[in-house]
A and B are shown apart, each in its own frame.
Chain A
Amino acid sequence: MLPRLEPRSGVSAAMMLLTPAIAVGLTLIAGVIMFAALGFDPGRALYTFFVKPVSTLYGVSELLVKATPLAIIGIGLALGFRANVWNIGAEGQFTLGAICGGGVALALHGVESWLVLPAMAVAGILGGLAWGAIPALLRVRFNANEILTSLMLTYVATLLLSYLVHGPWRDPDGLNFPESRMFEDSALLPVILDETRLSIAAPITLLIVLAGWLVLSRAFLGFQIKVVGQSPAAASYAGFSEKRLIWTTLCVSGALAGLAGMFEVSGPIGQLHPVVSPGYGFTAIIVAFLGRLHPVGVLFASLLIALSYLGGELAQIELKLPLALTGVFQGMLLFFLLGTDVLIRYRVRFGRRGAQIALPQGG
């Protein structure tokens, strides 16, 4: 007899908060098995992957550097996902933010002014916003699925960046390497901790988390987002415009991804490369769900996922393991999270249909 899924009568609130922890635990167990099967000492491998990267102050600062874009993008995505607006193209919006922010930096090359960075930030935000607005327009006007359009635009964005750094924006003194020239100091984010790459992007991220939390818990906009996501008919009854919320959430998540892209090129990278992101825009989807679409949860999830990036790099150096390990761990985490999510809503049953069927308590 095949196992069946039966809905549970209620979803425990405690379990909703616990599942991310359970998923992390299961990921570690699977990691142990995987390392053992590969012939490594699982204890040492896990230590290298999860503990060693953050055993120094520099390691912790790198963790924050990696977590910053994930958290910023994750907040924006969480807002959209709450309203059932599935922006899968944050990677493209991130790239456009990097292009526009970096473009301003290159255009203002030689200008020494504190205004350069704000101008870059505005350009980055607008670039990401524009890239998010296209799927919004297509969805609202033509009912085109934003999952597909936003994803496809990601490839347009990365090809556009590639064209620019191979062509018009290539560093004239760069020996034909496909990179832009290095940004001037006025176009680089101020570092807040000496000897590290930790910039003011990190405290700004905290402000964005706080703002996201305020929007979702206290603002009318957040209320409308939640109602549209949970009961579209109730939103229509209340007079909340679904179209306006599609526009808002796609533009906000695009703008935040664009800001993150600008932070990345004016922070850790310092110039434009053909590839400016190790998949932050896609990984932020995992971050948003792992954080239960809650801004504070997203913050913690971004730290955890950032660790998987660092751990993957260190495992490559010390254990000669492929960098794909990062993706494997992120994938396992998402798999276990989705799995546990299903299991707190449904129970697995074998055999014949059982007696317990959840029915509403009628009058």
Chain B
Amino acid sequence: MASDDAAARLALTDICKTFPGVVANDAVSLTLGPGEIHALLGENGAGKSTLVKIVYGVLRADSGEMRWNGQPVQVASPAQARRLGIGMVFQHFSLFDSLTVAENIALGFDEKVPMRDLTARIGEVSAHYGLALDPGRHVHTLSVGERQRVEIVRCLLQNPSLLIMDEPTSVLTPQEADRLFETLRQLASEGVTVLYISHKLEEIRALCEAATVLRGGKVVATCDPRTETARSLAQMMIGGELATPVRSGADEAGSERLTVRSLSLESEHPFGTPIRDVSLSVRAGEILGIAGVAGNGQPELLAALSGETLCPQADSILLDGQPVGRLGPRARRARGVCVVPEERLGQGTVPEMTLSENGFLSAYLRSGMLRQGLLQLRAMSRFASDIIEAYSVMTPGPATAAGSLSGGNLQKFIIGREILQNPDILIAAHPTWGVDAGAAAAIQQALLDLAKAGAAVLVISQDLDELFAISDRLAVICEGRLSASRPTKDTTVEQAGLLMGGMFDEAGEIIETHAA
């Protein structure tokens, strides 16, 4: 199929794109046939996003040729791309918070569509593809996972013949991801070409029939992922040996560091999820994983644990046996708690501020960066440099603005900032979301090492593979309730999936049902 360019739906030849100081794409060629599901693989900064933005008309290539169904085309804008039949689901959502789902989708259309027809079509598509959506909800009330559904449905409504998906499954349950794959396979069987970007190598092996691997802006390999292993794919990506997270031996878990007792909290947000009777404990030296689909109370639980939301009773949350429920984030930090928040930009970091300042943001109580109310600029810069070095953050230096880092690099910086503070208790939300395989392995290893060194680690994640890889015990949050925790090694993916669907009783134990 690659030999016959005339039959190809999309053929890219020698695409080059240079940004000041960086060659993002260096003579990249790629051919996609009709009905093909093709993976685009590469580490952060390998040039994947640049390439698909060129295809989608967001960026213009410096040189090279693009053929669409055999015809040379210049895609000048996303609107033109959509007219050609190219749809794209971005990793970073482009939704307006204050508008409803239907209004946001209407904005994506280049022609005017009556709202009633649109609502009906949203209903059809979301039912057809199993992507539940309420068209009347305001986007700011939606979870990350639901927002992604809006993006996917918006794309599917335009009947694309090439669908570009940038990390679409990172916020779905295994069952939901499977349903999405069915959708994609169904689309492919109808002749739609899918260009699929993901860091989840296992799902690429399950879904894609061809893969193009980018490294440093160049195509370094093309392969059939079904005949490769996840490990071999990862090594093509990073061009070297992949370090797999090493679990420490079954050390005796230490004393209880973090305890939550029957915590119930009304959500401050009218559409938020109230926390209902949540109890958990994390011991020194272990990692407790909390799985769950987005929008089931994770942000509310995280805010209660970090102190951003105060609990009604002080003894709902104990640190080393001391009640801290009424203490704010600063006082809890002083007691050894560090937190990796959900949002990297705007919460975990201030985009306009430098890495030095962003290092200081959560570490101001430590490392001598604050004396007599004055910032110690040299210590701040040194701390940021330490993070950059220890966690291989790709950036010119501590004076760079946080907003200019790619998502994965920024995540490495945030994780490094929290871990280098030597926390007694680390609470991490989605530690490797949207981070490439090499960096994700490094982050997971850092979490394991931290626990081995005696810290209590709580990881809230939607990535089950990750939780199975690193956590000692696993609990699942669903509609604000938390299941009882179970040893990870005695838990199957199917059981976790059932718990994620809320199949647990008052005591938090799993309700076994007959397989339908």
Contacts and interface: CB of A to CB of B under 8 A. Distances in A.
A359 B90 CA distance: 10
Interface stretch (B143-151, B184-192, B355-363, B466-474): B355-363
Contacts, number: 106
Nearest to A10: B404
Interface in A307-360: 352-355, 357, 359-360
Interface stretch (A51-59, A217-225, A270-278): A217-225
A220 B375 CA distance: 6
A355 B329 CA distance: 44
Interface stretch (A85-93, A229-237, A284-292, A293-301): A229-237
Most buried by B among A231, A237, A240: A237
A93 B374 CA distance: 29
B351 to A, nearest CB: 7
Interface in B41-87: 44-45, 48-49, 53, 57-58, 60, 76-80
A238 interface: yes
B343 interface: yes
Interface string A174-210: 0000000000000000000000000000000000000
B389 interface: no
A294 B48 CA distance: 40
Contacts of A231: 346-347, 349-351
A239 B328 contact: yes
Given A357-B58, A362-B406, A233 B347 contact: yes
Contact of B53 (A234, A354, A359): A359
B373 A353 contact: no
Interface in B165-203: 166
Given A359-B53, A363-B49, A233 B375 contact: no
B368 to A, nearest CB: 13
Contacts of A223: 357, 360, 375
A220 B350 contact: no
Interface string B301-314: 00000111000000
A46 to B, nearest CB: 38
A361 interface: yes
Given A236-B308, A361-B406, A362-B166, A218 B353 contact: no
A220 B364 contact: yes
Contact of B346 (A234, A238, A362): A234
A226 B346 CA distance: 13
B374 A219 contact: yes
A137 interface: no
Contact of A238 (B329, B375, B435): B329
Given A230-B352, A237-B339, A355 B375 contact: no
Contacts of B80: 355
Given A231-B346, A353-B79, A362-B90, A239 B330 contact: yes
B420 interface: no
Nearest to A354: B77
A227 interface: yes
A230 B353 contact: yes
B349 to A, nearest CB: 7
B295 interface: no
B343 A233 contact: yes
A217 to B, nearest CB: 8
Interface in A224-262: 226-227, 230-231, 233-234, 236-241
Given A218-B374, A220-B370, A362 B407 contact: yes
Contacts of B434: 362-363
Contacts of B33: none
A218 B308 contact: no
Given A355-B60, A357-B58, A362-B92, A234 B45 contact: no
Contacts of A238: 329-330, 361-362, 364
A238 B329 CA distance: 7
A272 B91 CA distance: 64
B348 interface: yes
A355 B408 contact: no
Given A221-B373, A230-B352, A239-B329, A355 B346 contact: no
A361 B357 CA distance: 21
B283 interface: no
6 contacts: A218-B375, A237-B339, A238-B361, A239-B331, A354-B77, A362-B406
Interface of B: 44-45, 48-49, 53, 57-58, 60, 76-80, 90-92, 94, 166, 306-308, 328-333, 339, 341, 343, 346-353, 357, 360-362, 364, 370, 373-375, 377, 404, 406-409, 434-436
